[in-house]
Structure 1
Amino acid sequence: MEKGKIALVTGGSRGLGKDMALSIAKKGLDVVITYNSNKDKADEVIKEIESLGQKATAIQLNTTKFDKFQSFLEEVQSALKTNFGTDKIDFLVNNAGIGINVPFSETSEEALDSMINVQFKGTYLLTQKAINIMNDGGGIVNISTGLTRFSLPGFSAYAAMKGAIETLTKYQAKELGARQIRANVVAPGAIETDFGGGVVRDNEGMNKTIAANTALGRVGLPHDIGSVVAFLCTDDAKWVNAQRIEVSGGQMI
């Protein structure tokens, strides 16, 4: 158990982020989650984490409001002092994000800018500031996608930004190694959530096609991912660094 360690999970109020936060708490870490707009959902997650015997708090964050990142982290530190008796985190999980499913030829400049800001620039700049409140010996977990390895029509902008995140992760591992901070990528395959308008969950044809092209014969569920992220937030993963771990059930192999 990782008693005394704290993880910050962005977008932790629902979907994959919720399962990541709960899985991390089950490992004995305390958790700070962020939510964009749904405080009630975030509060529900906090209660679930507390029922596991861990401390938790939720703070609002829009990962495209770059000028608010410093004040957000100051709010995190204030909450840490009040609720956790410290002012540092140990792990940062960059999960918050949105997706689009639009053909390459029809992707607008506005949609591309949205993907750049949400999936890359926000993660880059938030992590840059968050390492100032991170303990040495901690870690960064960046969430990517199976779509950087295989291609499905309509995800060019989203997957391209995640490709950038995967490259960034290697540089984070290299440059933060002196502080013993590890940086890794978890790349989920297709998951049944409301992500991207619920395209995997609600499109029966797509769901069946993906299941047929996955070695384990089904589409992923949120609880397939969180435990892998949680593992990376423990000493069991102390020698795992600069790696891309795909969690897809063997999709498109």
Structure 2
Amino acid sequence: AIHRQHATDTADIAAASILHEADVLHVQNQVLEAKVVELTTELVKTQYELKLERVNYKHLHRKVLGLEAQLENQVLHVIDLEQRLACTAADLAAAQRTNEQAAPTTDVIAMCTEHLTMLHEDLDMYDARCAMYEAGIRELWATYVHPSKPELTKHATPPPIHATNKCDKVREPNDADSDDTASIDSDEYSGGQVEVVEMAYHHQLDELCESLAVSVEAQHKQLAAIKAMEIQLEMDKHQYEEDVSTTRCETDVMIGDVDVRYLHEVLVNIDR
């Protein structure tokens, strides 16, 4: 009986120990299950956050690529604008140099002044030639027409000359008394000498008349040419001034348009 009681006690103790161990294992299992659930939840949360990070990374990567493309386009656009501005500035400088070299104002004025001076010198030359012809006519008149009378003064004019073809015949106001004139001529010259003198006089007078007519006609033509030249020079001067003013206005407008377009494009790019 004692042995049996001892076996029973031993069995009870073993069963109690087993139950205690089972309880401990159960508690440990519950703790481990709770930790597994917590770790599983944290893993799921981490996986979700990782997916979000991947999505955000892809979105940001695409956005960065787009910004890099825009930046590259803006850099290329700025380079193109700088090249266009440099070309425009070079064209404007070349146009200004061409306008300055083509017809500067000082050269035009100097050329007009020199040409007008030459024309006035020609007029003075023609006036001197006319005065020489008038002096020759007065000298011939005093020598052959009235040799006994003093020379005509500068303001005195010979009697009117009536020419039939080429001043073939010279008539004087006092030719009515031809007998008296013939008697005076017969006292000074013989008949043959008078005819020779008259022929020489008429010949020289014809030459003087022709020369004087040609000189007067040439002087009239020269005066008309000078007048036309002065009008043309005045028109050229006004045209040149208008061209210079127009060129300056166009240059200012071109520079203003380039600046406005450049600023507008820069502002548009900044807004973008």
TM-score, L = length of structure 2? 0.16
- Point out the structure with max Rg over C-alpha: 2
Greater fraction of residues in helix: 2
TM-score, L = length of structure 1? 0.17
